[in-house]
């Protein structure tokens, strides 16, 4: 299966990997006023479409909800 994510989700992931997880807008200004819960949900849908186990997707969402 093919899973795609928006540019904002990709930038959000890159910012986290680059150490800007607390303020991704610092690295990517397009993320300054974005709804991070919406990005997490979009990523979860892509993870499901890519075939990731439901338990792993649910764990990701739990962690995202507790940190966002």
Q: Output the pLDDT for position 1.
A: 61
4: nearest Cα among 42, 57, 52, 31: 42
Alpha carbon of 32 to those of 21, 23, 50, 56, 58: distances in Å?
A: 12, 8, 28, 28, 26
| Secondary-structure percent of the chain, ordered helix, strand, coil, rounded to 5 | 70, 0, 30
Q: Output the pLDDT for position 54.
A: 95
Tokens of 26: 């610092």
Tens digit of pLDDT at every position of the chain (68 positions): 677 899 999 999 999 999 998 899 999 999 999 999 999 999 999 999 999 999 999 999 999 888 87
Q: Output the pLDDT for position 35.
A: 93
3-state SS, one letter per residue, for 51-64: CCCHHHHHHHHHHH
Q: Output the pLDDT for position 28.
A: 95
């Amino acid at each position: 299966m093919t899973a795609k994510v928006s540019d904002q989700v990709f930038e959000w992931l890159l910012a986290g990997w680059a150490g800007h997880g607390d303020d991704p807008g610092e690295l990517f200004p397009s993320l300054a006023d974005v709804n991070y819960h919406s990005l997490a949900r979009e990523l979860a849908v892509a993870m499901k479409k890519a075939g990731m186990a439901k338990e792993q997707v649910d764990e990701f969402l739990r962690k995202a909800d507790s940190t966002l």
